[in-house]
């Protein structure tokens, strides 16, 4: 598969590294990018030379979240039944597919990982962050709960409740202390430390490592994790019908229309005029 929105390299033996490569869009996750990402992870899973994959972002951040200017369900990477909650069910299927891979996947986060980007990271098997990273799901303030609601299992009841009721973001150091990430490092050390950990993981043969990985996920599923994450799609769909969310969507739509319909100022570009459509 030819990749346009991600970069692939092998920085050390048995290690595949995938870089989200839309720095001009803060690596916003469009459907084409998600399609390429899943394809690259699946290709690594059947490559005998690969034992672990790393996902990172190009430029100043890991990712700003889902690209809301994208037609999110056009040519999706896999089928999901229609109806209310289709989008949420679809991305949940995408991120659960990472659980089902035989080989471990590591998220390397610098800058910020917001909304859908935090969901992608949460689905990875290991997460390492820069101490000054910015991680959160601010969408809960205006639109809905997360599509992929990992919070209670990763950060515990009290922390999950605080995150969901405030929409606040947390530093990488705080995210590691809460359990969202394994460890936090100074940003200048992050890449080196992640490669060191990937090399440690890669020492274990993949036929055994897939059993090790699966044993943890099955334990999580025995505690109800998968069922609860699936249920979140229903709540996400329900949130779209409450009056405050409908009002916000209308205001957001009117705001976008006002920018698109307004003639560009002298010297400005069409790209600048449409930049408000990108998810922040």
Q: Tokens 């689905």 map to which residue? A: 123
Residue 71 is predicted with a pLDDT of 79
For residue 267, what pLDDT band results from cuts at 50, 70 and 90?
A: very low
Q: What is the dihedral of CA 68, 112, 237, 143, to 10 degrees?
A: -80
pTM of the model: 0.89
Residue identified by tokens 């705001």 is 255
pLDDT above 70 (res 257): no
pLDDT digits (tens, 9 = 90+) for 12-61: 999 999 999 999 999 999 999 999 999 999 999 999 999 999 999 999 99
Q: What is the pLDDT of residues 188-227, one digit of tens each?
A: 999 999 999 999 999 999 999 999 999 999 999 998 999 9
Mean pLDDT of 148-157: 90
In the chain, count H helices and then E strands. 11, 9
Segment 103-132, tens digit of pLDDT: 999 999 999 999 999 999 999 999 999 999
Residue 211 neighbours by CB distance under 10 Å: 11
How far is residue 157 from each of residues 42, 47, 147, 163, measured CA to CA in Å?
33, 39, 18, 10
| Residues 34/73, Cβ–Cβ less than 8 Å | no
E strands in 124-206? 126-130, 134-136, 169-171, 183-185
Q: What is the mean pLDDT of the chain?
A: 89
Per-residue model confidence as pLDDT tens digits over 35-47:
999 999 999 999 9
- Diameter of the chain by CA atoms? 63
What integer pLDDT is reported at residue 279 of this predicted model? 43
């Amino acid at each position: 598969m030819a990749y346009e929105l991600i970069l692939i390299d092998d920085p050390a033996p048995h290690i595949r590294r995938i870089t989200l490569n839309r720095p001009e869009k803060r690596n916003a996750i469009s459907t084409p990018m998600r399609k390429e990402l899943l394809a690259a992870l699946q290709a690594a899973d059947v490559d005998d030379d690969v034992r672990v994959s790393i996902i990172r972002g190009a430029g100043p951040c890991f990712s700003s979240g889902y690209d809301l200017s994208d037609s999110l369900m056009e040519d999706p990477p896999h089928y999901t039944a229609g109806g209310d909650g289709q989008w949420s069910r679809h991305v949940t299927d995408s991120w659960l597919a990472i659980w089902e891979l035989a080989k471990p996947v590591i998220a390397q986060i610098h800058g910020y990982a917001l909304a859908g980007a935090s969901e992608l990271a949460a689905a990875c098997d290991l997460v390492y962050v820069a101490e000054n990273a910015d991680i959160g799901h601010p969408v809960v303030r205006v639109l809905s709960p997360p599509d992929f609601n990992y919070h209670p299992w990763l950060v515990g009841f009290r922390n999950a409740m605080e995150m969901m009721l405030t929409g606040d973001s947390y530093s990488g150091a705080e995210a590691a202390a809460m359990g969202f990430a394994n460890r936090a490092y100074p940003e200048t050390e992050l890449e080196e430390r992640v490669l060191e950990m990937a090399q440690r993981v890669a020492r274990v043969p993949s036929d055994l490592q897939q059993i090790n990985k699966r044993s943890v996920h099955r334990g999580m599923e025995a505690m109800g994790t998968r069922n609860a994450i699936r249920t979140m799609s229903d709540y996400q769909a329900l949130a779209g019908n409450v009056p405050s969310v409908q009002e916000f969507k209308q205001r957001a739509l009117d705001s976008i229309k006002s920018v698109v319909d307004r003639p560009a100022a002298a010297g400005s570009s069409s790209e600048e005029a449409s930049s408000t459509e990108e998810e922040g």
